[in-house]
Structure 1
Amino acid sequence: MPKACYLLTLLLLCVLFPLLAQPPVQPIRLELPFLPEDTEAEVIALPDSSLLVYHKTSNTWETKATFHFTKYDHKLEEVWSDTAKLNPDSDYIRYYTEQPYTYIVYGGDNLQKYTFLRLHNKTGNIWHKRFEIEQIEAIYEYNVLNGNYFVIGRSKKDQKPLLLHLTPASSEIKILPSVYGDQSTFSDLLADPEQGRVDAILTESNGRISRLQVKSFDAQGELLKNYFILQKDDKSLLNAEITPGDSTQKMLLGTYGTRDLRYNQGFFTAPLASRVVEGEFYNMLQLKNFLKYLKPRREERTRRREAERLRSGRRPGYRYRLLLHDLITTPTGYVLAAEAYYPQYNNTSSGNFGFDRTLNTFRRTQQEGYKRTHAVVLGFDKNGILLWDNTFPLSNVTTPELTHAVELQRFPDGRIIMAYPEDNKIIYHLMEEDRYDDEETELEISTYQEDDKVQDSYQPGIIRWYGNHMAAFGFHRVKPKNGDNRMIFYINKISF
């Protein structure tokens, strides 16, 4: 390397390294007088770098309730505030943002009645309407295209997932053709406003093999195209996320399995139009960092053992359950993340029968939740070629339901952050492509005053916001140096 180039590179490293190594800061904190015993609160990041804070206050029996919506700008200063008159038993389920609106769906005591609320992000104007949907008893997913609603719910009749189209103007409810097999389910639902379509990905399974099917609908719920994505050799396609764009550009990125469809053996990518014939498959051993959550010696033994199995023609011995995150589109490709988990059980006097390998006897067990081992992030180019992978080890992270435990965000400079709340701390991992760092980094949530002490923390959360910023929130019981304790709902801006 020429001396001038060497000096320039050294200078850039000297400038960039301190920036990358700087800990995050918390420049702004907002405290709101909410009490956890009578307040349900949600924080939603809007596309214009603002936050929407929804909170419901109600009495013990939910016979009276008020529903508040407040918008705060990037400095956490109030922009507008409004209320809506909803049934007191209305409970927040999900939201979806399609500019210039944010849409929220609520359930209630009656499992067939749902309230759909539309809020104008700029003005705060609110419209809502109640639908009685006789076919379902729960809502899992919710997208909006040109003001029409696409809903995935659980069938009241047979507990299978259903895809519905709702037209607010006419109150029409239409069941869309979707699930066929007993073990079939939905993998992804993506509204693509630029293309005027909604893509639904179905995993079809008979218990032995599985394949993917992609159905594309227009805003009125009419079927535009149907794609059957065939498996390759002995690989069953389990789950996938779909990219935006026209049919010639769309990619599927997901996971595949082999003999046991409960477990993932690797990742695949494929152009939608190719029906996976030209797909790329990557098993776990091909990923540089997937096994880094293990101790080094155990990782080495696992890689050695699995490589030997592959050389002898046997099936892989590793088995992972993976929960995919929504796909992130970057200027040069895509980022796909997944959380590795397993069901966690407790001994109990009643519940399902389980098998105790230690005692070699049957005992009664009850599922307690879903425990995580690690999260993985993969970077692909526009053609679905794997560029890098990285891993975030997760210790003592359990969720009662199978929902995302960590938040994922890509910063404008290309760095990836994965983070989750733990009491009054944020545990996070900053990733620069495949450069692995096993150091667990944590950030304590700061208060207004240095002398303030957080005595209790309830319902902590963190969401991606804009640029290099995230928003942490939850309830705090704060003890000031002088004065009485105060219970508040906080929002802290965290800048990386």
Structure 2
Amino acid sequence: MVLFRYLITFLFLLLLFPALAQGPAQPVRLELPLDMEATDAEVIALPDSSLLVYYRVSNTWQTEASYNFSKFNHELEQVWSDTVNIAANSYYIRHYTEAPYTYFVFGEDDLQEYTFVKLNNKTGQLQHSHYELEPIDAVYEFNVLKGNYFVIGRNKKEKRPVLLHVNTSTKKVQLLPSVYGEESTFSDLLADPAQGRIYAVLSESNGRISRLQVKSFDAYGRLLNNRFILQQEDKTLLNAEITPGDSSQKMLFGTYGARDLRYNQGFFTTPVNTTMVDEEGNFYSMTQLENFFKYLKPRQEERTRRREAARLKSGKGPGYRYRLLLHDLIPFPDGYVMAAEVYYPQYRSSSSNWGLDRSFSLGRQEEAYKRTHVVVLGFTKEGRLLWDNAFPLKDVASYQLVHTVEVGRLPDGRVVVAYPKEEKIIYHIMDGSKFREEETELEILTYEENEKIQATFSPGIIRWYGDNFVAFGFQRIKPKAEASRTIFYLNKITFD
């Protein structure tokens, strides 16, 4: 009887194991014959479930270059392909999609010279125009509203962020009223085509206190509304994302701190009204979140929570010190998903650091930004917290403060957090507040089973449509009995 019971259990595990081991599907792979040494490439998900691949191919001396655009459908079949003739020293900076067009910004060696490319997503028809943006020497962000451009750039004299409007009909470039304080910056830029507005969220600081300001402009750069978001005495609003979509009732989802403006103490939500009637909004400290400290070992988490509870009871402020890099809000029918990467700077000591300005300096220099974990929160449309979750990150860092993970919501409500690591995709699927510490690996598949991936370069992954992501990058592939080939790959990844 005991033997029979063990046999039944063994057979059950044999049946269950494939289901447990089964990961996301990779139904389609596309390889493009691009030379890694001569090619820069970007992959862009379009609203119609297609993909746009931009790639620049140049010669060794960078004196000649072709700028290519190809559209692929949801099965990675090519729909059209075209090129644009612009200066060979042009380099891709940003893009923005306002259906039915995708717009690109290209910079040049002269930091005031920029080329804008307008691409019809349906036909592949291309137009380009050249502008001298005299006030700036760098572009940080780019939006389009009714064919006109809004650009956040760096003021070439004061080295502070500024907001530019480019009227594509009159070719007029104007500075818009925006940042005032020395330590002020932009937190978000969002176009709302249905309302005919563009919203700029500003984080204003004098080094001691900070506040948020929301400005809205029409398509021609005229200021429509200016709203200051007031705060509670013990809380300073640091950064925020404004809700996308067609709603006339906008919300801010962001972070707050206290005395030291470099560090975050929690998250807040608040409405952005067109009147001056103040509403406090909702505040959620990190100790209120169920899973924020789960990246720590259980004893460390318990000790941290016990220490913070004692500080709160004695009237002291929080002792934790976290820096957060916010992602764009992800809307769903009943609310929003908000994600943030938790990071800290890694330093190196230098006795002779020569910067771009050729100046000599001493002291610690930021070398990289190391991630500890990703925190993801679900909110109602009114800003009430539904759930929170976290995903510990191992050996994830970047030399610039840019997003290192991709976050996407599946149609069934689960959230995928994923990032590339050589020939693998490291991913984690969140189901509400149910915390799971383990990460899952997905091996990138080749065309044939007997092919071997010898190396992967510049890997990436983006959310695509529905429950699909796309992984991409350059690979050197070695077939069993043939010479190696170097290609640019696109692998569709479906999370069931």
The interval holding the TM-score normalised by the smaller chain is: over 0.9
Instruction: State the shift of 1:187 in Å.
Output: 0.3
Please state whether the residue corresponding to 2:321 is helix, strand or coil.
coil
Question: Does structure 1 residue 489 correspond to structure 2 residue 488?
Answer: yes
> Equivalents in 1 of 2:21, 2:465: separation in Å?
20
* Number of the residue aligned with 1:217: 217
> Equivalents in 1 of 2:62, 2:246: separation in Å?
47
The 4+ residue runs of structure 1 with deviation greater than 6 A are: 17-21
> Equivalents in 2 of 1:350, 1:57: separation in Å?
37
* Number of the residue aligned with 2:119: 119
- Contact 1:350/1:366 (CA < 8 Å) preserved in 2? no
Aligned residue type for 2:285? N
Please state whether the residue corresponding to 1:181 is helix, strand or coil.
coil
> Equivalents in 2 of 1:20, 1:404: separation in Å?
30
> Equivalents in 1 of 2:198, 2:210: separation in Å?
23
- Structure 2 gap segments, 5+ residues each: 1-16, 355-361
> Equivalents in 2 of 1:96, 1:195: separation in Å?
18
1:52-451 → structure 2 map (5 Å cutoff): 52-244=52-244, 249-273=249-273, 277-351=279-353, 364-451=363-450
Q: Describe the superposition over 1:169-221 as per-residue Cα deviations: whole angstroms up to 9, x where unpaired.
A: 21110100000000000000000001110000000101110000000000111
RMSD, aligned α-carbons: 1.7
Please state whether the residue corresponding to 1:26 is helix, strand or coil.
coil
Aligned residue type for 2:324? L
> Equivalents in 1 of 2:372, 2:279: separation in Å?
33
* Number of the residue aligned with 1:32: 32
Please state whether the residue corresponding to 1:409 is helix, strand or coil.
strand
| Distance of aligned partners of 1:254 and 1:33 in 2 relative to their CA distance in 1, 3 Å threshold | same
| Distance of aligned partners of 1:275 and 1:427 in 2 relative to their CA distance in 1, 3 Å threshold | farther
- Contact 1:211/1:230 (CA < 8 Å) preserved in 2? yes
> Equivalents in 1 of 2:68, 2:327: separation in Å?
29
Please state whether the residue corresponding to 1:414 is helix, strand or coil.
coil
> Equivalents in 2 of 1:157, 1:202: separation in Å?
20
> Equivalents in 2 of 1:169, 1:384: separation in Å?
39
| Distance of aligned partners of 1:335 and 1:20 in 2 relative to their CA distance in 1, 3 Å threshold | farther
> Equivalents in 1 of 2:366, 2:352: separation in Å?
11
- Contact 1:460/1:474 (CA < 8 Å) preserved in 2? yes
Q: Describe the superposition over 1:388-444 as per-residue Cα deviations: whole angstroms up to 9, x where unpaired.
A: 000011111111111101011111111100111111111111001111110111111
> Equivalents in 1 of 2:198, 2:19: separation in Å?
41
> Equivalents in 1 of 2:64, 2:85: separation in Å?
11
Instruction: State the shift of 1:101 in Å.
Output: 0.3
| Distance of aligned partners of 1:470 and 1:275 in 2 relative to their CA distance in 1, 3 Å threshold | farther
| Distance of aligned partners of 1:281 and 1:65 in 2 relative to their CA distance in 1, 3 Å threshold | same
- Contact 1:227/1:275 (CA < 8 Å) preserved in 2? no
| Distance of aligned partners of 1:76 and 1:275 in 2 relative to their CA distance in 1, 3 Å threshold | farther
Instruction: State the shift of 1:350 in Å.
Output: 2.5
Identity of aligned residues (%): 64
| Distance of aligned partners of 1:247 and 1:429 in 2 relative to their CA distance in 1, 3 Å threshold | closer
Instruction: State the shift of 1:247 in Å.
Output: 7.8
> Equivalents in 2 of 1:173, 1:20: separation in Å?
57
* Number of the residue aligned with 1:360: none
- Contact 2:347/2:364 (CA < 8 Å) preserved in 1? yes
| Distance of aligned partners of 1:218 and 1:384 in 2 relative to their CA distance in 1, 3 Å threshold | same
| Distance of aligned partners of 1:200 and 1:275 in 2 relative to their CA distance in 1, 3 Å threshold | farther
- Contact 1:247/1:272 (CA < 8 Å) preserved in 2? no
| Distance of aligned partners of 1:276 and 1:436 in 2 relative to their CA distance in 1, 3 Å threshold | farther
- Contact 2:211/2:229 (CA < 8 Å) preserved in 1? yes
TM-score calculated relative to the size of structure 1: 0.92
Aligned residue type for 1:469? N
- Contact 2:192/2:246 (CA < 8 Å) preserved in 1? no
Please state whether the residue corresponding to 1:286 is helix, strand or coil.
coil
- Contact 1:351/1:365 (CA < 8 Å) preserved in 2? no
- Structure 1 gap segments, 5+ residues each: 1-16, 353-362
Q: Describe the superposition over 1:232-263 as per-residue Cα deviations: whole angstroms up to 9, x where unpaired.
A: 12111000011136786211110000000000
